[in-house]
């Protein structure tokens, strides 16, 4: 039997709690975005994030934007592993408050901007009955011990996590002339992930009644130890015969020569059969081969007992309490191009890769045990205290174009490309092995001024993931999606403007073929896992302008 391990959970990145955007980035950074989805060429206050070079188009004075979104996402994983009690797992991810705040001071050709956003994460996930990655190893005990009367199992599992990457941004925009503006700035990113959960009361249903899994496995280990003792004793008892030159003798020859009695011969042969050696092989053995079989079986049973006891430790009650923190700096540059009396506006922005590592802060004994060190017997935790994980934020290129077709109607398109393959995720040479293609998204939006102060808007966004199966995890999977949005804006006067928006995200279902080896037996059980999400959000925001107007 190979080394037995129980994988409790697997979290590669915080992308499982992502609200909208690339694998790590959030791009849903204003209520105005929530109503039209395309803001790459914005020259309004939310350009602090979307098109900072375009801030020079604002009027002189102070400009403030405050907005928040209420976001709900359902994640569903369906696993067809045949021994599971139920194949459907649902996670609830919520962000009741998802804020963004911007401040701009515009004077002449200069604009100084500040922003506070959740550039990554921003929500909390709750899986009330865990995920397949937690339960499949438990369910596999049923076929592993089926011959010993195990018919089913029960388990109490729970997992919850939170993730937020707060970003503080500052920068300067300068208008070279009426047509060209430039921007330079940076964002300080502060990341914090928390994971809590438990796996307890694992019980096996047997023909003799219910029993805790760890007690059952320790009981089987005791039997293996007892068998090893018998095999060791038998091998030792045969040593004088081997030393006396009786090794080449068959069972019948040994009895005929008086080396063994008939009872001793039958007892030794029966012992090997009880230890699992086929009877026909035992009958054809000479004494030296039989002694070797006893010795080999004793070693195998001793190793099996150790593996079972290690597995029993993993099946005992355990809790997780992990916090990961890190920080990094994102340099940002941008340009804005305006033509045809500002009826055509082009926004360009490039965010460089953010180099960032996350460090584990783990309560003693709460790092999720996933195995035992065979050399020391010490538990191996998935999240060792003080361990460091690469969590770079990929670079991002944004290109936006706004065109006012007629006075009341403006069309907008935005393209985002993310440099996922340039991060150091899971690779020493900074070439991720789990990313086939970079993530990209394309958005189309429109605004229609129904009146001078009342704006209607709508939008569509296509997001195309580039990950392969190796990236996907029960708590961190990326799916291609389609987003639809609608909303309105109302300008009360030259100072106050209200934005209201709502959007819904639908995702392309993805199914993968999986295999799970039953307790190191070499027998793999094939099954599938299917991933699906759905997201809905509502947003409200208020823009405030104080000072001379443009």
> pLDDT tens digits for 5-40?
333 333 333 334 555 567 888 999 999 999 999 999
121, 542, 544 from 124: Cα distances, Å: 8, 26, 31
Q: Which two tokens stand for residue 509?
A: 């279902």
CB 370 within 8 A of CB 6: yes
- Residue 477: its pLDDT value, please? 84
Q: Which two tokens stand for residue 327?
A: 């920080």
pLDDT confidence tier of residue 441, bands split at 50, 70 and 90 = very high
Strands 357-367 and 409-418: unpaired
> pLDDT tens digits for 412-437?
999 999 998 888 775 544 445 567 88
H or E stretch at 1: none
User: What's the CATH number where 448 sits?
Assistant: 2.40.160.60
- Domain that includes residue 409, residue range: 14-212+321-363+394-546
- Domain-located, residue 385: no
> pLDDT tens digits for 101-148?
999 999 999 999 999 999 988 777 777 777 888 889 889 999 988 888
CB 93 within 8 A of CB 73: yes
- Domain-located, residue 50: yes
- Domain-located, residue 305: no
Please, where are the H alpha helices in 257-413?
Answer: 262-274, 279-283, 287-315
- Residue 69: its pLDDT value, please? 95
The total domain count for the chain is 1
- Domain-located, residue 383: no
Residue with tokens 């040994």: 254
> pLDDT tens digits for 366-421?
887 777 676 776 778 888 889 898 889 999 999 999 999 998 999 999 999 999 88
- Domain-located, residue 233: no
Give every CB contact of residue 529 below 8 A, 6+ residues apart in sequence.
Answer: 77, 78, 79, 80, 132, 474, 511, 512, 514
Give this prediction's pTM: 0.83
- Residue 19: its pLDDT value, please? 53
- Domain-located, residue 387: no
- Domain-located, residue 421: yes
Q: Which two tokens stand for residue 427?
A: 């690779």
- Residue 16: its pLDDT value, please? 44
- Residue 20: its pLDDT value, please? 58
- Domain-located, residue 441: yes
> pLDDT tens digits for 75-98?
899 999 999 998 998 888 888 899
Check pLDDT > 60 for residue 190. yes
């Amino acid at each position: 039997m190979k080394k037995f391990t129980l994988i409790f959970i697997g979290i590669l990145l915080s992308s499982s709690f992502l609200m909208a955007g690339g694998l790590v980035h959030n791009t849903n950074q204003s209520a105005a975005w929530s109503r039209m989805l395309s803001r790459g060429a914005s020259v309004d206050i939310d350009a602090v994030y979307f098109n900072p070079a375009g801030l020079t188009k604002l009027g002189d004075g102070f400009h403030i934007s405050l907005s928040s979104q209420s976001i709900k996402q359902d994640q569903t994983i369906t696993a067809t592993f045949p021994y599971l009690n139920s194949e459907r797992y649902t996670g609830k991810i919520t962000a009741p408050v998802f804020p963004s705040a911007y401040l701009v001071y515009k004077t002449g050709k200069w604009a100084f901007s500040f922003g506070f956003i959740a550039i990554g994460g921003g929500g909390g996930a709750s899986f009330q009955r865990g995920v397949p990655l937690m339960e499949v190893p438990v369910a596999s005990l049923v076929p592993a011990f089926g011959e010993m009367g195990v018919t089913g199992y029960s388990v109490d599992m729970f997992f919850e996590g939170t993730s937020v990457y707060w970003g503080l941004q500052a920068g300067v925009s300068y208008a070279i002339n009426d047509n060209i503006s430039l921007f330079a700035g940076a964002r300080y990113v502060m990341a914090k992930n928390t994971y809590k959960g438990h796996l307890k009361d694992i019980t096996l249903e047997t023909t003799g009644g219910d029993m805790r899994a760890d007690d059952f496995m320790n009981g089987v280990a005791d039997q293996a130890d007892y068998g090893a003792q018998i095999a060791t004793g038998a091998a030792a008892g045969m040593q004088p015969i081997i030393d006396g030159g009786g090794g080449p003798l068959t069972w019948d020859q040994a009895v005929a020569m008086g080396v063994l009695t008939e009872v001793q011969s039958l007892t030794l042969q029966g012992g090997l059969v009880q230890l699992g050696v086929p009877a026909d092989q035992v009958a054809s053995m000479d004494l030296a081969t039989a002694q070797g079989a006893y010795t080999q079986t004793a070693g195998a049973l001793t190793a099996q007992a150790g593996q079972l006891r290690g597995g029993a430790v993993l099946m005992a009650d355990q809790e997780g309490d992990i916090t990961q923190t890190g920080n990094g700096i994102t340099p940002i540059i941008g340009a804005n191009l305006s033509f045809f009396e500002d009826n055509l506006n082009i926004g360009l922005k490039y965010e460089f890769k953010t180099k960032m590592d996350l460090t584990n802060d783990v309560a003693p004994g709460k790092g999720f045990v996933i195995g035992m060190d065979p050399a020391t017997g010490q538990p191996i935790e998935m999240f060792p205290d003080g361990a460091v994980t690469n969590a770079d934020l990929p670079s991002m290129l944004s290109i936006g174009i706004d065109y006012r077709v007629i006075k009341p109607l403006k069309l907008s398109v935005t393209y985002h490309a993310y440099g996922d393959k340039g991060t150091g995720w899971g690779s020493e040479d900074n070439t991720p092995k789990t990313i086939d293609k970079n993530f990209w998204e394309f958005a189309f939006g429109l605004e229609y001024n129904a009146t001078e102060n009342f704006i209607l808007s709508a939008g569509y966004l296509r997001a195309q993931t580039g990950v392969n199966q190796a990236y996907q995890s029960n708590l961190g999977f990326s799916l291609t999606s389609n987003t639809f949005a609608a909303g309105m804006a109302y300008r009360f006067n030259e100072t106050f403007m209200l934005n209201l928006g709502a959007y819904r995200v639908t995702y392309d279902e993805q199914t993968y073929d999986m295999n799970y080896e039953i307790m190191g037996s070499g027998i793999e059980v094939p099954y599938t896992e299917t991933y699906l999400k759905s997201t809905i959000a509502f947003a409200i925001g208020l823009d405030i302008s104080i000072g001379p107007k443009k």
